[in-house]
């Protein structure tokens, strides 16, 4: 196998890990409420901007990450409480329109505070490339991104399978009315899902900002396209499916850029989405039936 293959493999896995972290939030919300939270991508973008603001304020790396995750979690819960919950039992098209409006509100707030021009993100640590040979190299941040994704995936699997809150979330995703009759606080579990997904999105935003050293308001829209495609590919509503879908999408984009052209990167995303919806609309892991 040539050096281009290994180089694109590393690049694809690292970017696919970012997509996977964002896709988990989409998948969890759909699994519990059967709705598409299009504002989730803007939470991912907000995480990058909050990290940027905190680093400029000299709050330190760990303090900045904690604040970014907290702001994103609170924002995700606020969107659910204000924009989504009052419309939970109405026609499905109305929550979708509300989600698009909520995404625009978050994007507009970011543009009012930080402007519409791209900003240079201050790198968190030295990310000098490590050469495997004369033509293949990787960045330490790429390994960190893949490692964080694996840890988040394994922790999520453990949490939702063995903890009391995780079991309650799974019960709500199966049948909200029965879960309520059994004493589970459905609204609290929904808020928890939004907060949990928003924290993962914030982590993804911090990682991608440090990866590209550039942030801009449309970052959330681009993240929405790719993460939604990843969630659909893996099986919307299935946690492991979101992870696998994100990795596969990242690899598909990377190999397209490496062997064909960078100009076809976005086209690949939409082609995969169309093919999946036509051929296997439930995804690789048949997410609609398995949920969270």
**The model's pTM:** 0.90
Give the Cα separation of 83 and 69 in Å (integer). Answer: 21
DSSP string of 217-238? TTHHHHHHHHHHHHHHHH-TT-
The predicted pLDDT at position 31 comes to: 81
Per-residue pLDDT tens for 177-197? 888 988 899 999 999 999 999
Specify if 125 maps to a domain.
no
The predicted pLDDT at position 289 comes to: 40
**Cβ–Cβ < 8 Å for 285, 241:** yes
Specify if 36 maps to a domain.
yes
Specify if 218 maps to a domain.
yes
Specify if 94 maps to a domain.
yes
Give the Cα separation of 185 and 212 in Å (integer). Answer: 41
The predicted pLDDT at position 193 comes to: 93
Specify if 277 maps to a domain.
yes
The predicted pLDDT at position 1 comes to: 52
Give the Cα separation of 2 and 248 in Å (integer). Answer: 20
Residue spans of beta strands (DSSP E) within the chain: 119-120, 130-131, 137-138, 214-215
Specify if 219 maps to a domain.
yes
Structural domains counted in the chain = 1
Q: Provide the residue range defining the domain that includes 218.
A: 10-112+139-155+187-290
The predicted pLDDT at position 287 comes to: 57
3-class secondary structure, 138: strand
Specify if 271 maps to a domain.
yes
Per-residue pLDDT tens for 45-91? 999 999 999 999 888 889 999 999 999 999 999 999 998 888 887 77
Q: To 10 degrees, the CA torsion angle through 120, 142, 75, 273?
A: 110
Specify if 69 maps to a domain.
yes
Task: Report residues of the chain scoring pLDDT below 50.
Answer: 288-292
DSSP structural state of residue 83: I
């Amino acid at each position: 196998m040539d050096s281009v293959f290994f180089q694109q493999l590393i690049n694809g896995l690292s970017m696919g890990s970012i997509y996977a972290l964002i896709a988990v939030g989409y998948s969890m919300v759909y699994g519990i409420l059967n709705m598409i939270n299009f504002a989730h991508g803007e939470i991912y973008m907000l995480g990058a901007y909050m990290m940027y603001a905190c680093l400029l304020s000299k709050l330190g790396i760990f303090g900045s990450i904690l604040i970014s995750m907290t702001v994103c979690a609170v924002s995700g819960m606020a969107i659910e409480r204000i924009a989504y919950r009052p419309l939970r039992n109405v026609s499905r098209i109305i929550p979708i329109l509300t989600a698009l409006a909520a995404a625009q509100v978050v994007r507009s707030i970011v543009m009012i505070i930080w402007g519409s021009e791209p900003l240079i993100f201050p790198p968190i640590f030295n990310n000098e490339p490590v050469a495997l040979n004369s033509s293949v190299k990787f960045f330490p941040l790429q390994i960190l991104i893949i490692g964080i994704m694996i840890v988040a995936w394994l922790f999520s699997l453990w949490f939702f399978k063995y903890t009391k809150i995780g079991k309650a979330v799974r019960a709500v995703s199966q049948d909200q009315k029965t879960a309520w009759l059994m004493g589970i606080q459905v609204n609290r579990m929904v808020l928890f899902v939004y907060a949990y997904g928003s924290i993962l999105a914030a982590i993804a935003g911090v990682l991608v900002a440090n990866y590209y050293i550039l942030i801009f308001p449309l970052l959330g829209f681009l993240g929405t396209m790719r993460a939604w495609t990843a969630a659909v590919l893996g099986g919307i509503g299935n946690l492991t499916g979101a992870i696998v879908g994100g990795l596969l999408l990242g690899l598909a984009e990377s190999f397209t850029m490496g062997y064909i052209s960078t100009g076809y990167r976005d086209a690949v995303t939409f082609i995969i989405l169309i093919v999946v919806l036509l051929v296997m609309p439930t995804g690789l892991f048949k997410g609609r039936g398995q949920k969270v």
